Amino acid sequence: MISNQLYAQDRPNIIWLMAEDMSLDLECYGMHAVHTPNLNLMSEQGVLFNNCFVTNPICSPSRSAMMVGTHQVKINAHHHRSNRDVLLDKQYKPFTYWLREAGYTCILGHHGVFDKGRKIDVNFQHVAVGPWDGKEQFGLFDKLDHFEKEDQPFFAQIQLKVTHRGDWWNEIRNQSDHPVNPDSVKLPEFMADHSIIRLDWARYLDQVEYMDNEVGMIFRELEEKRMTDNTIVIFIADNGRCNIWGKGYLHDPGLHIPLIVHYPGGLSGASVRNDVVSATDITATIMDMAGIDLPEYMSGQPIFNEGFNREYVYAARDLWDEIEDKSRAITSGNWKYIRNDKPQIPFDAGQAYLEFYRPAVHIMRQLNSEGKLNEVEKLFFQKTKPAEELYNLANDPLELNNLAKDPDYASVLENLRNTTCVYDEKMKPVSDIYHPIVPNSVEVLEWVKNEKPELYQEMIEGVEIGLKTLSNEYRKTKR
């Protein structure tokens, strides 16, 4: 342990910045109408990845996989917010355990970012701060909110939560010196061009700009503390944007995330990589950069090693609140295959939580009922899901043309279908313990419908009425 700590002094600090619920919606990835000067600079001086994907399109399963560096299905952490009272199977450890063993101080959050950035959200027994033995002690980090010289080498995981939908979005937009003009945004083709949808998109980009500013603040702090050269900064998201086909879906707006790595002391800048990377590879990369041998169980691989050779990212959608779905996908960056084991659950499943947070769905549902959506806009509102989906991402990046039934692509389909089965086998859960949680969003939605019909009507008309405040109010009525 002592020798590790001595050796550790030469090791780089590592900061992992994780934006919430964001797709490749940055200026440096070509998004229109948004200005992200700090992330632009980070990518100019660092390495930008064009094909990074999470292993589940929502928070907790995705974060569980990243925390262990192993696919969430394999470690039985794939059901959203479930199994929080279940121990991580003893063969696995959170990667912060290994970092601490190697002499790193592990820090969660930052005092200067929105809401302090302390979200963990993993589906096994854990606490934020304290030691870990996996039996009686479940601490993932050593301290909160500040990285200092005496913490070196340190690992800091900072959540940039502002981009997550919440009651603060209007306030952030109102405070902005340069609110994004709804007329300047460019909506993806699968969304209806409607003033409320444009405004909602602009509001989202306002949060992205706020978040970019937070990234700039972290870099300034590194500069002031003279840590820039020996600190690796990694920027990533935990899942895609909370909008149509995004968060919750195995389509690219749900799975495809930004990844930028900045390390002036060790990586040459201004480079772009197009090979396919899994979010679990980031975990492996951090351990590798900290000089730690990777445990056998890790499904992630270090992305800067010569031997890095990922062909596919395997992703899964399972329980999310009251929707017990099961779908699996693989992507090579050029091709995407999705197998929907429960095709009877439609894409627009009426999930209570999303009713509160997807203005575009309400608007487009209404337009659909009036027969006003075009063919690609209508896809989201199919009565059932196709059992299989196949997309040629090179020609069809928006995944509008399902080729699964096209005989010309039968062999591609067959190959990807079989490869998915290989992954199903490889990532088989280590146990079948299943302790699902029942969210109260279903009851709150019913209550709003019955007790606050005017507010409910506003929601249907595209106003994001939010869940948190209403949920608190509802709880009081139950006392």
Q: Is 409 helix (H, G, I), strand (E, B) or coil?
A: helix
Q: Which is nearer to Ca ion, 11 or 119 (CB)?
A: 119
Q: CA 98, 100, 102: angle at the middle one, nearest 5?
A: 75
- Applying the rule CB under 5 A, the residues between 16 and 45 that interact with Ca ion are 20-21
CB of 17 to Ca ion, least distance (A): 14
Q: Which stretch binds Ca ion (CB under 5 A): 54-62, 255-263, 275-283, 363-371?
A: 54-62
Distance separating alpha carbons of residues 479 and 472, to the nearest angstrom: 11
Phi then psi dihedrals of residue 258, to 5 deg: -75, 150
Residue nearest to Ca ion (CB): 59
Q: Is 390 helix (H, G, I), strand (E, B) or coil?
A: strand
Residue pair 74/91 in contact (Cβ under 8 Å)? The answer is no
Q: Which is nearer to Ca ion, 59 or 276 (CB)?
A: 59
Q: Does 238 bind Ca ion (CB under 5 A)?
A: yes
Q: Which is nearer to Ca ion, 43 or 239 (CB)?
A: 239
Instruction: Give the strand pairing for 127-129 and 139-141.
Output: parallel
CB of 385 to Ca ion, least distance (A): 22
Burial of 366 (0-12, 13-18, 19+ CB in 10 A): middle
Q: Does 321 bind Ca ion (CB under 5 A)?
A: no
Q: Which is nearer to Ca ion, 108 or 290 (CB)?
A: 108
How many chain residues touch Ca ion (CB under 5 A)? 5
User: Which tokens belong to 462?
Assistant: 């595209």
Q: Which is nearer to Ca ion, 159 or 420 (CB)?
A: 159
Q: Which stretch binds Ca ion (CB under 5 A): 59-67, 95-103, 295-303, 382-390?
A: 59-67
Q: Which is nearer to Ca ion, 47 or 255 (CB)?
A: 255
Q: Is 155 helix (H, G, I), strand (E, B) or coil?
A: strand
Closest-CA residue to 256 (of 286, 284, 276): 276
CB of 236 to Ca ion, least distance (A): 11
Q: Is 384 helix (H, G, I), strand (E, B) or coil?
A: coil
Q: Which residues pair with 316 in a beta bridge?
A: 328
- Applying the rule CB under 5 A, the residues between 2 and 21 that interact with Ca ion are 20-21
Q: Does 59 bind Ca ion (CB under 5 A)?
A: yes
Exactly one of 152, 228, 239, 299 binds Ca ion (CB under 5 A); that residue is: 239
| Whole-Å CA distances, 200 to 102, 105, 348, 364 | 45, 40, 19, 13
CB of 191 to Ca ion, least distance (A): 20
Q: Which is nearer to Ca ion, 165 or 198 (CB)?
A: 165
Residue whose token pair is 């939605």: 445
CB of 20 to Ca ion, least distance (A): 5
User: Which residues contact Ca ion (rule: CB under 5 A)?
Assistant: 20-21, 59, 238-239
